[in-house]
Structure 1
Amino acid sequence: MSRLPEPRFDVAPIPRLKPDDLIALVSPASWSEDSWLVESVATVESWGFRARVGDHAADRLGYMAGSDSGRAADLNAAIRDPEVRAILTLRGGCGSLRLLADVDTEALRADPKPIIGYSDITALHQLWHRAGVPSVHGAVAGAHARTVQRLLVGERGEPVRSDRGQYGAELTTTGTVAGPLFGGNLEMLARSVGVVDNDLDGHVLLLEINRAAGLGMVDRALTQLLLSGALAKVSGVAVGVLEGFEGYQDRGWTVLDVLHDRLGSLGVPVLAGLPLGHLESPVSVPLGVECALDADAGTLLLAPLTD
């Protein structure tokens, strides 16, 4: 499958970023080390953009980057400021779900701009998706960091290719399918059932799964999504890295057995072994834009993020 179809759902056009445009750096979840904040600012500025750090981005409260009110204030300030053209989250961790009721989605719809992050930031990606605003699943880290810059300036992201040697790649089935890409961290998607009404009809579902607990966690999360009806009409599944599950078994089953059992009930093409999620050098991909998943060729092709 070499060409993408025309979009089948409403997406707010995001203008391409230009030199000297402003990117806001915020911490809506856990706090990051000071060195990572400095490095992130340097990376953004090396791309020819300006960087502005949120007032509470360096706050600390337990495992979170300060209070809920402070983290939400930074996020909303970035959304409401017309000078800000993209929002970079400094890390995932925990805390994004606490902010969902406080995010100014009306301002986001009025002035669409992408948010960049993954893992716990999946909670916020869901609000962007419901608002019809594309976002970026990924990070400005590792060998593929510049993919984020290319996406922001309107270039097509690199084709994502399955690594047949990556643990879990054998989950790949056959078939080709197209549709808007959306998803993220499995645990967060499941925790959001009843909180965010995700419309995944016709979508290719992206899953990143890390071993926060045993196989039962994966089973419960997928079962919750299945029983809620959220996955009833997905057109395909793209599976990223299965962090921490290599060599792990529970009474004879591995995470691959759980995924075969649960995803197999969908009857749609599955492409696994993708370099997405908790990796040293993750590939960043746009969410909310059309994609073409080719399980036979092992590729995920994506439309540009911006207009």
Structure 2
Amino acid sequence: MTETAVYAAGGVIWRLVEGKLHILVIHRTAYSDVTLPKGKVDPGETLVETAVREIHEETGIRVSLGIPVGVSRYRMPRGRQKIVHYWAAEATESAIRASTFIPNKEVAALEWVTPRKALGYLSYPVDVEILEQFLTYVDDGILSTFPVVVLRHAKALPREEWKGQDAARPLTARGTRQSKAIVGPIRSYGVRKIVSSDAVRCVSTVTPLSKALGRQITRTPLVSQDAWADGTSDVRAVVGKRVRARKPAVLCSHGPVIPGILAELALATGTLRGSYLGSASSLEVGGFSVVHLSADHPGSGIVSIETHEPTV
């Protein structure tokens, strides 16, 4: 992020009504316009946290983020550039029923419309461009997706400062802060399953997330660094299970193991190998990559990958 730009985040919210795709647009009170839900980043927030929060504040609907669908850039009245990141997000029937929306001083009304109507209805060309990008995925048969979050454990005590077994090395104070900082961003993707190497530094990294979600950690030596080093790891089995499950999950492992995890995700989904896999697997401690897959056709390949650097 630059200091001069104003950053914001939002989403293309969708649902199926009798099998037909509908998009949620908002009618803003102050501007008398029709737009996509979005809002500015609050201090200390990541963009994905902003997107989820702003969508809920403006529509009353709680969503989990799907694939990124674009970035809009435009000049504000006083000349500053505004940069808005958008994600697709399904509004489930239960989330719609639980909506807390009432007309207010910012948003006068919500409206579900067909994509064709939305394209001619939205007030701003930048919103139309974002919707068009989303619709290219729809045209390619990609609508419902699920993420596999590949997480490198947080900062651990260096080996030379630890006299016990390597698998028992604990997190440093910075690592503990990192483990707490990842909770919000990873929750934004609707993760419900937590799988971790059985090393202490990995389990400790996802413990705050486990507590926040109320979900147990599935510990496995199959993606541990010790198993990788002695040739007994089985990344393929762990990755294959996650792809078959088609549920949002996080997989916490180690720097040397993560390239293999990304490679197996590509193989499990019939994805062409490329340099992007190297970029997604070159994670700093406390960093993670979000691999988006089609829920209907996982074998059609990786849809998108986002990489998030540690914020602490």
State the TM-score, normalized to the length of structure 2. 0.28
State the TM-score, normalized to the length of structure 1. 0.28
* Higher strand content, 1 or 2: 2
* Higher helix content, 1 or 2: 2
